[in-house]
A = this chain, B = another copy of it.
């Protein structure tokens, strides 16, 4: 059995790498630069107008291309949507791991770990230039069942570090709710903020995090 190809999660968009012929997979090509421009532009448009209301012409224009050109990079509009979601998730997973490792040096309390996870989640959800995760959350209806399965696995991977933290809090008596339902409700509380949070208005991500912690485990702010 061959070693599986390791996919590097693009935390930041990779710089162009013009070596060799562009690789081709089933439904997309990879020549770095332009492809990435399509993904970034599509993410922005999908978030603002929704998948169905965004035309491939809009996306092409956002990347400075002509109307037919996106289909040189992606076999379909749906494949482009999936690329946005997948890149968003892989990036989020990688970024979360780094953040967690930084916070976990010594005997960090479970409450502090939860705070780190919550704060990080607000970052990828509401931070500058973060359209990928909201698109994944709010346009899930528009992908195929097979794609949905792939994303579900990535989501499990993302949520994995939350489980032991919530279980520890429950064991410490700081969390009363059933852990599985608590996780679903907590993600709801956080994810919904993409609907109402306005960077220009009052609340900071720090304040939001404090409020969430106070609500979930009664940590006085």
Contacts and interface: CB of A to CB of B under 8 A. Distances in A.
A178 B52 contact: no
Interface stretch (A14-22, A104-112, A179-187): A179-187
A3 B119 CA distance: 51
Interface stretch (A75-83, A143-151, A208-216): A208-216
Q: What's the dominant secondary structure at chain A's contact region? A: helix
Nearest to A178: B211
Q: How many copies does the complex hold?
A: 2
A165 B53 CA distance: 40
B207 A184 contact: no
Interface range on chain A (Cβ under 8 Å from partner): 35 or more
Interface string A192-221: 110110000001000110011011101111
A49 interface: yes
Contacts of A190: 185, 188
B178 A189 contact: no
A177 interface: yes
Among A53, A175, A185, A220, the one with the most B-chain Cβ atoms within 10 Å of its Cβ is A185
15 contacts: A49-B141, A50-B142, A53-B141, A175-B215, A176-B219, A177-B211, A181-B207, A182-B211, A184-B196, A185-B189, A185-B190, A185-B211, A186-B189, A192-B192, A215-B215
